[in-house]
């Protein structure tokens, strides 16, 4: 890694030294100005514009690689994680400043990964010291790409009925079963996987969360072709896969608690998709460009009202996401907000794509040809249908709200 290009203002191993928030902000601003490549200072046009890291990572550009390296060196790919495992060691206030300064210059996230969003936080919360030392630093540096082995053909919404079994062989388990809807399993290096370790226990009490390398003999993957034409998900087959016992996170048969914790993270992530893929232009700006205005009013009045209603709803959703953060910071959080945000956010994202079809008409439904971006919009529209299914369907979120918050049942 080229350390001469990026000159940290402070020694990364000793954290950040700034007497005040303003001073810290000034330092961050200056560092970003000299370290964030120009081409990395524009909004993500698409989910696929992200850098996912991993052993087989193919960088979209040199700038993307350099940006990741520089941020990883400071631990700012994971700003709030502890310094001792390579994280940024920032407090909430500082992390917010970093986020704001990155947003100010439209800096792209240097790294997107299930390691950062899901298994990393779970290992930090539930994992042994050895697991933290082994797995956290490579996640921060984007060296290992993780995938999630949760759903099975017979265990979707009813995840706890999963059947993949892990037999105790003394110092290791032998795992057999099948996972499905494993995001990017064919490009991932390691899997975090829910397995049944106590087949006779009640279904929630016999589950463990284990980690293994996707190169372990017996692991094979097969991409699933979706209606969008893409294959972001795989089937993963596990045939006599050896998993060391020290790769169990949080104790044998304790997996369900961690699974629930991770599902909360996943919900928040998916619920936020609308925001991340919205890009620089708003729906109404796109509509004005495509359809035009008459006396300042969009030419299609019924589409105008539908777009206005969506933008108002989107605004209400974004403010709610903001309010949840502010309440948590003030110690007034309710903890069950993730179901509301997941439900509302994914439904909004689906509506957004339906409105884009309304704006672009048949242009949006052309499947091939350079003139139509090779069907990119049609593909994104179809992909959005999965948002309210993955990570707990909308109906599951409504179940959670009515049972845990409203006390109905």
Could you tell me if 387 and 346 are in contact, meaning their C-beta atoms sit under 8 angstroms apart? Answer: yes
Could you tell me if 326 and 92 are in contact, meaning their C-beta atoms sit under 8 angstroms apart? Answer: no
Taking the complex as a whole, the smallest distance from the CB of residue 293 to other proteins amounts, in Å, to: 6
Contact flag: residue 323 with other proteins (CB under 8 A): yes
Could you tell me if 159 and 259 are in contact, meaning their C-beta atoms sit under 8 angstroms apart? Answer: yes
Give CA separation, 348 vs 233, 302, 408, in Å: 23, 18, 26
**Binds other proteins by CB under 8 A, chosen from 123, 344, 355, 356:** 344
Output helix, strand, coil percentages for the chain, rounded to the nearest 5: 50, 15, 35
Q: Which is nearer to other proteins, 57 or 337 (CB)?
A: 337
Contact flag: residue 332 with other proteins (CB under 8 A): yes
Tell me the three state secondary structure of residue 66.
helix
CA 258/CA 150 separation, integer angstroms: 12
**Binds other proteins by CB under 8 A, chosen from 128, 163, 320, 393:** 320
Contact flag: residue 313 with other proteins (CB under 8 A): yes
Stretch that binds other proteins, among 29-37, 84-92, 264-272, 283-291 (CB under 8 A): 283-291
Could you tell me if 155 and 149 are in contact, meaning their C-beta atoms sit under 8 angstroms apart? Answer: no
Contact flag: residue 337 with other proteins (CB under 8 A): yes
Taking the complex as a whole, the smallest distance from the CB of residue 53 to other proteins amounts, in Å, to: 34
Chain centroid offset of residue 276 CA: 10
Taking the complex as a whole, the smallest distance from the CB of residue 116 to other proteins amounts, in Å, to: 26
Q: Which is nearer to other proteins, 124 or 348 (CB)?
A: 348
**Binds other proteins by CB under 8 A, chosen from 343, 353, 360, 381:** 343
Contact flag: residue 288 with other proteins (CB under 8 A): yes
Phi, then psi, of 259 in degrees rounded to 5: -60, -45
Contact flag: residue 100 with other proteins (CB under 8 A): no
**Binds other proteins by CB under 8 A, chosen from 10, 45, 227, 293:** 293
CA 97/CA 26 separation, integer angstroms: 10
Contact flag: residue 329 with other proteins (CB under 8 A): yes
Give CA separation, 230 vs 56, 113, 146, in Å: 19, 19, 20
Taking the complex as a whole, the smallest distance from the CB of residue 25 to other proteins amounts, in Å, to: 17
CA 293/CA 136 separation, integer angstroms: 52
Contact flag: residue 33 with other proteins (CB under 8 A): no
**Binds other proteins by CB under 8 A, chosen from 1, 60, 205, 316:** 316
- What single DSSP character describes residue 358? H
Give CA separation, 160 vs 46, 151, 208, 303, in Å: 33, 9, 11, 43
Q: What is the CA radius of gyration of the chain?
A: 22
Q: Which is nearer to other proteins, 30 or 354 (CB)?
A: 354
Taking the complex as a whole, the smallest distance from the CB of residue 142 to other proteins amounts, in Å, to: 33
Q: Which residues are the active-site residues? A: 266
CA 250/CA 248 separation, integer angstroms: 6
Tell me the three state secondary structure of residue 178.
strand
Taking the complex as a whole, the smallest distance from the CB of residue 324 to other proteins amounts, in Å, to: 9
CA 194/CA 340 separation, integer angstroms: 25
Contact flag: residue 393 with other proteins (CB under 8 A): no
Contact flag: residue 305 with other proteins (CB under 8 A): yes
Q: Which is nearer to other proteins, 238 or 337 (CB)?
A: 337
For the window 104-133, what string marks contact with other proteins as x by the rule CB under 8 A? ------------------------------
Contact flag: residue 287 with other proteins (CB under 8 A): yes
**Binds other proteins by CB under 8 A, chosen from 39, 61, 161, 402:** 402
Could you tell me if 219 and 241 are in contact, meaning their C-beta atoms sit under 8 angstroms apart? Answer: yes
Could you tell me if 192 and 149 are in contact, meaning their C-beta atoms sit under 8 angstroms apart? Answer: yes
CA 73/CA 94 separation, integer angstroms: 17
Q: Which is nearer to other proteins, 147 or 337 (CB)?
A: 337
Q: List residues binding other proteins (CB under 8 A).
A: 282, 284, 287-288, 293, 296-298, 304-305, 307-309, 311-313, 315-317, 319-320, 322-323, 326-327, 329-330, 332, 337, 340, 343-344, 395, 397-399, 401-403, 405-409
């Amino acid at each position: 890694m080229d350390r001469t290009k990026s000159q940290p203002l402070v020694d990364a191993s000793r954290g950040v030294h700034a007497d005040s928030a303003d001073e810290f902000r000034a330092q961050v601003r200056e560092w970003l100005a000299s370290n964030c490549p120009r081409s990395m200072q524009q909004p993500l046009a698409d989910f696929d514009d992200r850098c996912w890291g991993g052993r087989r990572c193919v960088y979209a550009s040199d700038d993307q690689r350099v940006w990741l390296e520089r941020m990883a060196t400071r631990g700012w790919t994971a700003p709030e994680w502890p310094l001792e495992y390579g994280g940024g060691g920032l407090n909430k206030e500082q992390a917010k400043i970093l986020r704001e300064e990155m947003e100010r210059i439209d800096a792209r996230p240097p790294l997107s990964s299930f390691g950062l969003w899901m298994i990393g936080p779970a290992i930090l919360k539930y994992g042994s010291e050895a697991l933290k030392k082994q797995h956290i630093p490579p996640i921060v540096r984007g060296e290992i790409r993780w995938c999630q082995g949760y759903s099975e053909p017979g265990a979707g919404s009813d995840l706890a009925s999963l059947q993949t079994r892990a037999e105790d062989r003394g110092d290791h388990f032998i795992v057999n079963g099948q996972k499905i809807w494993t995001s990017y399993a064919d490009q991932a290096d390691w899997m975090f996987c829910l397995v049944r370790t106590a087949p006779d226990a009640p279904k929630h009490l016999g589950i463990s969360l284990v980690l293994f390398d996707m190169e372990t003999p017996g692991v094979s993957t097969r991409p699933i072709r979706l209606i969008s034409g893409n294959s972001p998900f795989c089937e993963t087959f596990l045939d006599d896969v050896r998993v060391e016992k020290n790769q169990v996170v949080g104790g044998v048969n304790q997996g369900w608690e961690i699974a629930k914790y991770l599902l909360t993270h996943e919900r928040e992530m998916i619920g936020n998709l609308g925001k991340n893929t919205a890009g620089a232009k708003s729906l109404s700006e796109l509509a004005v460009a495509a359809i035009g205005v008459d006396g300042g009013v969009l030419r299609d009045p019924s589409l105008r009202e539908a777009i206005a209603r969506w933008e108002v709803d989107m605004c209400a959703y974004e403010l709610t996401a903001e309010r949840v953060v502010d309440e948590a910071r003030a110690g007034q959080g309710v903890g069950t907000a993730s179901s509301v945000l997941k439900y509302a956010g994914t439904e909004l994202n689906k509506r957004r794509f339906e409105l884009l079809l309304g704006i672009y008409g048949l242009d949006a439904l052309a499947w091939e040809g350079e003139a139509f971006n090779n069907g990119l919009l049609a593909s994104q529209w179809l992909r959005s249908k999965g948002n309210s299914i993955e990570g707990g369907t909308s109906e599951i979120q409504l179940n959670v709200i009515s049972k845990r918050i409203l006390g109905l049942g």
